[in-house]
Amino acid sequence: MALTKIKYGVLGTEFTTATAVAAADIDFSAAAVFNKTLTADTTFTFSNDGIGMVKDLVLTGAFVPTFPVGTKIINGAYDGTVSNFIQIAVVASGDYWLSISQAQ
């Protein structure tokens, strides 16, 4: 029978899993949610990103996270004392919009 509706169960792992960022690369094809606790100033890179992709990054740590050139903040500010929910939207090639929020 033909599949007429895409259900969560058929989605790939890049849409359904959470993973820890081991080093500093956020592989957009690897997971939907990325977690990282900073232990030092960290320069992140993005890989396998495509226009329209949106990924969540839960980032903690009172250090300086650096995102690639072309990244801009559209809302919020990073707070190193709590967990930060950072949504990364790829709006164009090399153009990343970040929205940062914290638990209320």
Partner 1 sequence: MKAIEINGNIKTYRRLPSTWEDDKGLHLNFTKVADPKAFGFYDVVTPSYDSHTQRLSAMFFDADKEIFTHTVEDIDFNAVTEIKDENDVVIETKPVYDIEALKKSKIQAIKTETGKLLQPTDWYVTRLAERAVEIPQDVSNDRLDIITKSNTFEAEITALTSYVEVLKYTHTFFPQDNLLGEPITE
Q: List residues binding partner 1 (CB under 8 A).
A: 41, 43, 62-69, 71-73, 77-80, 98, 100
CA distance 32 to 76: 21
Question: What is the smallest separation between the CB atom of 16 and partner 1, expressed in angstroms?
Answer: 28
Cross-strand pairs, 26: 46
What is the nearest approach in angstroms of partner 1 to the Cβ of residue 1? 48
In the DSSP assignment, the letter for residue 8 is G
**CB-CB neighbours of 46 under 10 Å:** 19
Q: Which residue has the tokens 């606790």?
A: 37
Kindly tell me which of 17 and 79 has the beta carbon lying closer to partner 1: 79
In angstroms, give the least distance from the CB of 76 to partner 1: 10
